[in-house]
Amino acid sequence: MISVIICGAGKGARAGFSENKLFYPLDGKTVIERTVEAFSLPFIDEIIVTSSQADEERMRALLPQANVVLGGESRTQSVRNALREVKGDIVLIHDGARPFVSEKVISDCIESVKKYDSGICALPATDTTVLAANGCIRAVPDRSEVYTVQTPQGFRTAAIRRAYELAGDEVFTDDSSVYSRYIAPAALFVGDKQNRKLTFHEDFMQETYRSGIGIDTHAFGKEQDFIVMGGIKIPSFSGLIAHSDGDVLLHAVMDALLSAAGLPDIGHYFPDSDPAYRGADSAKLLEEVVARIRAEDCTIVNLSIAVQAQAPKLAPYIGRMMEKIGGICALPPSRVGITAGTNEGLGYIGEKKGITVTAIALLKQTR
Ligand code: MG
C-alpha cells in the first residue's frame, strides 16, 4: 500500500500573498488542489495533507479525497504528525507548492523505494555551484557530483518514522536529510524541470496567448483627394466617409487588439456620437488602445492585416504603414504584416465603393 504526505502547513509568506500561497488559483483551481490531483492515481492508496490550524477548514472543503491533518510549528514537526497517520508501507512526501509533478516522476519515486528503500527526486546541477564562506569561494565541488533536491521523496514508512523519532526537536529542510542522517544515504533519482516549486510571486505568473480579430469597412464618397490608412496619407480619387479620420486599417487593428484582450470594441471606447472624436487621429486612438491592453498585462506578439481595396494603389505605402504601426505598438515593423489585394472588380470593393480591412492580433498575457 502506498501513502502520500503533501506538506501544506506552511504560510508560503515569501510569495507575498495575503493568504497561504497554496490557495492561489492556477487555471481555475488552487495550487493545493492541483498538487493533490497530480497524486490522485490508481496506484496511490492514501493522500494525507498537512495544514495549519488557520487553513484547516478550507483545506478540508477543497480536498474531499485527502485526509487533512494538523501540522506543527516546523516542516519537520508537520511531517512527523502526518507520519503517525500513514497506513501504507511505502510513503512519498511532497511539497504542496509543486503542482506540476508528473505521473512518471511519482512512479519513478516508488520504483526507487522498491529497489533501494528510498527515492529522492533530484536534478543534476546545470550551473557551477560553489561553497562559500565570508562571501568568498571556499570550495568548488565537481559539478557532476552536485544535485538540487526536490520532492517527491519516497521511503519505507517504518524507516522514515524511525528517522523522525531519532531527529527529536532538530529542524531539517527536507526528509532526505533526516533519513540520510539517521538511517542510510538516501538514493537519488532524476526528476524533471517541470516539477518546480512555486515560492516567489513571479513563480505564479502564467503566460497565455490570445488572438483577436477585427474587421472594418468604410465607404468612399468624401470630397477629398486622399485617404488615411495605417496612419499614412495616401493619394486617392475620393476620401472615406467617417466621423474620425476614416483610418479603416487602424480601426480593424484596434478591434483585433481589444477583442484579443477580451475588451469591448472601439465603438464602446470612442463612440461616433461623441463630438470629441470628430476627425479624430486614429493613430492617437491606437495609442490609447495599446495602453488599455497593457493594463490587462498583455503585450503584442504580432499583427497581421489584410486590406481589400480596388483603389487607390497601396503597395508603395505598405513599408511606411508597417513602421508607423510598429512605432505605436512597440513592435519591429516585421511583426506588422500587411497585405493588400483588389477584389477583382467584384462587389462593393471591386466597384470602388468602399474598403474593407481584416486584422488579426496575437497577444501574450502574463498574470
Ligand atoms: Mg471604422
Say if residue 217 is in the same domain as residue 283. yes
Residue that terminates a domain, selected from 152, 179, 203: 203
Determine the structural domain holding residue 107 and report its residue range: 2-203
Residue 218 Cα to ligand 1 middle (Å): 6
Residue 210 Cα to ligand 1 middle (Å): 23
Say if residue 176 is in the same domain as residue 279. no
Choose between 16 and 283: higher pLDDT: 283
Say if residue 241 is in the same domain as residue 182. no
Say if residue 239 is in the same domain as residue 141. no
How many structural domains is the chain composed of?
2
Of 188, 229, 206, nearest in space to 317 by CA:
229
**pLDDT tier at 111, thresholds 50, 70, 90:** very high
Say if residue 69 is in the same domain as residue 161. yes
Say if residue 198 is in the same domain as residue 214. no
Say if residue 13 is in the same domain as residue 130. yes
Residue 37 Cα to ligand 1 middle (Å): 48
Mean pLDDT of the region 204-216: 93
Mean pLDDT of the region 210-237: 97
Residue that terminates a domain, selected from 142, 169, 203: 203
Choose between 75 and 186: higher pLDDT: 186
Residue 304 Cα to ligand 1 middle (Å): 18
Would the pLDDT of 176 be above 90? yes
**pLDDT tier at 267, thresholds 50, 70, 90:** very high
Residue 248 Cα to ligand 1 middle (Å): 5
**pLDDT tier at 146, thresholds 50, 70, 90:** very high
Say if residue 39 is in the same domain as residue 129. yes
Residue 28: predicted pLDDT? 86
pTM for this prediction: 0.71
Say if residue 71 is in the same domain as residue 147. yes
Q: Do 22 and 49 form a contact (C-beta atoms < 8 A)?
A: no
Say if residue 156 is in the same domain as residue 217. no
Say if residue 192 is in the same domain as residue 211. no
Would the pLDDT of 337 be above 80? yes
Residue 231 Cα to ligand 1 middle (Å): 13
Residue 261 Cα to ligand 1 middle (Å): 19
Residue 53 Cα to ligand 1 middle (Å): 58
Place of cell 483551481: 29
Say if residue 325 is in the same domain as residue 276. yes
Residue that terminates a domain, selected from 203, 229, 259: 203
Q: d(Cα 164, Cα 150) in Å, to the nearest integer? A: 19
> Which residues have their alpha-adjacent CB atom under 5 A from ion ligand 1?
216, 251
Residue 298 Cα to ligand 1 middle (Å): 24
CATH of the domain at 9: 3.90.550.10
Place of cell 508607423: 324
Mean pLDDT value across the chain: 95
